[in-house]
Amino acid sequence: MSVTEAGIDYETMTAEALVAQILRESTGKGVCLTNSFQTEDMVVLHMLKQYLPHVPVIFLETGYHFKEVIAYRDRMVAEWGLNLVNAMPATTLAEHESKFGLLYLVNPTECCRIRKVEPLMRSLEPFDWWFTGLRREQSPTRAGLKKVEDHKLPTGRHLKKVSVLADWTWDQVSGYAKAHGIPELELYARGYTSIGCEPCTAIPAAGADARSGRWGGKKLECGIHTFSEKS
């Protein structure tokens, strides 16, 4: 059970109440959101912006994104006045492919580590509270997700990872987005349910879990949410 210093159980709080509680505890300092510009992340961002209009929004710029994702990101940055932080890999895409070839085909886990995990871990260093749009319903790997967890970065630094939508269904996410006029990334209309790098994202089979279209079904996580240690 995750409990605040005041004895409030995080797990029993609604998403909106949890956002408000965390921002009271943090006094709005040291807070960030990782955002892939999928609907879950946009819902959390909408909640956060009510209190922190300029909350840092960390986007993993892998070089392999769908052009539609980049266009949507740029649109929302302009329309919402976002404080975007592009987390960049240590190498350009050209340098990466010159050295490794199409690494996403032969070793997708290592490709994710280089172009997603390592840049994110660096980008999280200044922060104490890391908001995400993760949900338990998304895949078996997320079924045990807590709304607030203690995490340790590779450098040894500790921070709180906050998944305010952990117990939400997709219908709740979609309903909130529609109620608040949040535009939807057009790839959803084509049948995509979980959207990452273009070479590693496919439309899932009917009835399969949302993330089954990632990495050809060979894995369900890039490592972002498994590489940092729970402490």
DSSP 167: T
101 in the Ramachandran plot: left (φ > 0), alpha (ψ -120 to 50) or beta?
left
- pTM for the model stands at 0.86
How far apart (Å, rounded) are the C-alpha atoms in residues 34 and 7?
27
Residues 32, 112, 200, 222: which is the catalytic one?
Answer: 222
Average pLDDT over residues 143-156: 91
What is the pLDDT at residue 143?
Answer: 82
How far apart (Å, rounded) are the C-alpha atoms in residues 40 and 135?
8
Q: Hey, which CATH number is domain 10-230, 1.20.120.1200, 3.40.35.10, 3.20.20.70, 3.40.50.620? A: 3.40.50.620
Q: Is there a catalytic annotation at residue 197?
A: no
User: The tokens of 178 are what?
Assistant: 């529609």
For 92-127, the DSSP string reads: -HHHHHHHHSSHHHH-HHHHHIIIIIHHHHHHHTT-
For residue range 152-207, list pLDDT tens digits in order.
Answer: 999 999 999 999 999 999 999 999 999 999 999 999 999 888 888 999 888 877 66
Query: Exposure pattern of 176-209 as b/e (b: 16+ CB <10 Å)?
Result: bbeeeebeebebeeeebbbbbbbebbbebeeeeb
Average pLDDT over residues 100-114: 91
For residue range 44-61, list pLDDT tens digits in order.
Answer: 999 999 999 999 999 999
Element (H, E) at 60: strand 56-60
Q: What percent of the chain has pLDDT over 90?
A: 71
Amino acid in position 224: I
On the question of pLDDT at 224 being above 70, the answer is no
How far apart (Å, rounded) are the C-alpha atoms in residues 76 and 212?
27
By CB atoms closer than 10 A (0-12, 13-18, 19+), residue 105 is: exposed
